[in-house]
Amino acid sequence: MVIIGKNLYLCKRNNQKIYYYMFTNEDLKQLASKGISQEQVKDQLERFVTGFPYLRLSDSAKLGKSIFGLSTEEEEQAIARWHQYLSDNGKVTKFVPASGAASRMFKALFAFVDGDTDTPKPGSDVDKLLKDIHEIAFFPELEATCKRLYGEGVDTLIAKGECRKVIGAIVKPEGMNYGNLPKGLLTFHSYGDTTRTAIEEQLVEGAQYATSADGTVRLHFTVSTNHRELFAAKLAAVVPAMEKKLGVKYDISMSEQKPSTDTIAVNLDGTPFRENGELLFRPGGHGALIQNLNDIQTPVVFIKNIDNVVPDAHRAPTLRYKKVLAGRLIEIHDRIALYLDMLNTGKYDIEDLRRMIAFLHDELCVRDEKMKHMEDSELALYIKAKLNRPIRVCGMVRNEGEPGGGPYIAYNRDGSSSPQILESTQIDPANEAYKEMVATSSHFNPVDLVCYIDDVEGKKFDLLKYVDPDTGFISSKSLHGKDLKALELPGLWNGAMSDWNTVFVEVPAETFNPVKTVNDLLRPAHR
């Protein structure tokens, strides 16, 4: 390391020059307030220079090859196993990332309101929304808002050609303010004279497949600091009536993305970006939530995005396959517990080891050529290490053009290969073989996970030990018109769960109904 003047030093690694600013006393106070160490920041600054390596792939996961298509009989067995787990007083939490603002949902609406015409382009998203505006669940609220703001209803304003007033009433702060609220607090569905927000649908759904034997439904929402009070107020207003109607008791908790998981932003030359003299830190992406997940105190955890909900009439496929995934998880855990007991007590023979290897290969899709050359004692230790990890069963949907990461078989640091959920940024676009894998991939990740985060002795795994730090990525952003680079942590269901035992199960497309734009609420699945 070489000092280059008062506030800068140079470190060379692999012939790359990496520059850091030495931290001022004010910087150190800022880091301490966020719970971030100097070493963390230096590591992050180094990443902006070295980047993140692409993963080495074996193949994309396919049905019959790392993606399991269960028969009706197997599905029924899994559902029965899940019901047994609940009846045995098994504990479960539904973990819902809900911190995202809905601003991207209304991108087209903001563009129209900020434009210079009152007439939307024919066939545009705004045009389609206005034509079906009576079908949107929040129409009664919009009607009341327009009358409050303009003294006239929606239909009158549209007839007069004042469409920007209608759209503005949806997104602007003086109106419904939907452009600044979190998705969880938006009205998604209509039930005659009543409506439900996304968070209310999550409550109802959770009660239908995640109620413990004592009638408790545990839900955990990760929220932003700015919206926490709004979530708390909404829950206080709706939970008592919902408990009475559904005959359950809700145990609801919330957490925020921890400040210690924020990442430093840099200028285009790699030096720290400052705003008003302070270092700029940004949220590290949903991968930061691995720390929130690590705090959950039940063995089983469902993970599902806040916007992937449907009304009661369309929920049957979701309920069935949530139970299928959860039951399959418990079945996998049963086998792992059996094998680990044999390994821990020494009550196994060579045939047992062969059955364990077959389980690794055929059920967990973990392969490693090194196993062929191991002595029995070494092999037993290797199998034990591979089995004694957190488990996740992930629903995978056939790729029909929806966005989302995909299931692949990737090589790990120890040379083994295993199922992984990858984003496009993790795959080398210049590798022709990988391009072919991407082009022929058949399924995508709808974020439909069920996890087992206790070991077989009932102790919590430290989930932070199973994160692959090499699986983050760098993105280009801007602040007040000034370009910057931001660093995303390994994604929650990507690199943050890299070293988990992972099982892919095909689920039908009917279980995936996200709301990415406001017009998605006009789809049949949301009516």
Instruction: Give the residue from 180, 208, 229 where a domain finishes.
Output: 180
Is residue 492, in this structure, part of any structural domain at all? Answer: yes
Q: 156 and 63, same structural domain?
A: no
> Which residue is associated with the tokens 């299931």?
407
pLDDT tens column, 9-43: 445 555 565 555 567 888 889 999 999 988 888 88
Query: How far apart are alpha carbons 503 and 418 in whole angstroms?
Result: 9
Query: How far apart are alpha carbons 73 and 283 in whole angstroms?
Result: 44
Angle, alpha carbons 78-81-85 (nearest 5°) = 140
Is residue 23, in this structure, part of any structural domain at all? Answer: no
Is residue 207, in this structure, part of any structural domain at all? Answer: yes
Q: 214 and 157, same structural domain?
A: no
Q: 218 and 159, same structural domain?
A: no
Which CATH number do you get for residue 245? 3.90.550.10
> Which residue is associated with the tokens 């669940």?
137
- Domain holding 169, by residue range, is 103-180
Instruction: Return the pLDDT at 16.
Output: 60
What are the CA-CA distances from residue 507 to residues 69, 391, 394, 409 (Å)? 8, 18, 9, 19
Q: 225 and 151, same structural domain?
A: no
Is the Cβ–Cβ distance between 243 and 118 less than 8 Å? no
**Sorting pLDDT into bands at 50, 70 and 90, what band is 402?**
low
Tell whether the model's pLDDT for residue 227 goes beyond 50. Answer: yes
Local structure of residue 64 (DSSP, 8 states): T
pLDDT tens column, 453-469: 999 999 999 999 999 99
Q: 96 and 121, same structural domain?
A: no
Is residue 324, in this structure, part of any structural domain at all? Answer: yes
Cβ atoms within 10 Å, residue 495: 28
Query: How far apart are alpha carbons 275 and 480 in whole angstroms?
Result: 10
Closest CA to 27 of 37, 14, 15: 37
Q: What is the pTM of this model?
A: 0.92
Query: How far apart are alpha carbons 440 and 427 in whole angstroms?
Result: 14
The two three-digit tokens of residue 194, written as one number: 């009543």
Instruction: Give the residue from 163, 180, 197 where a domain finishes.
Output: 180
Q: What are phi and psi of 408, to 5 degrees?
A: -135, 170
Average pLDDT, whole number, for the chain? 92
Tell whether the model's pLDDT for residue 5 goes beyond 80. Answer: no
Local structure of residue 400 (DSSP, 8 states): S
Is residue 132, in this structure, part of any structural domain at all? Answer: yes
pLDDT tens column, 65-103: 899 999 999 999 999 999 999 999 999 999 999 987 788
pLDDT tens column, 270-309: 888 998 889 999 988 889 999 999 999 999 999 999 999 9
The two three-digit tokens of residue 265, written as one number: 């932003």
Query: How far apart are alpha carbons 270 and 320 in whole angstroms?
Result: 50
Please give the share of the chain, as a percent, with pLDDT higher than 90: 80
Bridge partners for 443 per DSSP: 398
Closest CA to 438 of 52, 54, 70, 50: 54
Instruction: Give the residue from 180, 214, 244 where a domain finishes.
Output: 180
Is residue 39, in this structure, part of any structural domain at all? Answer: no
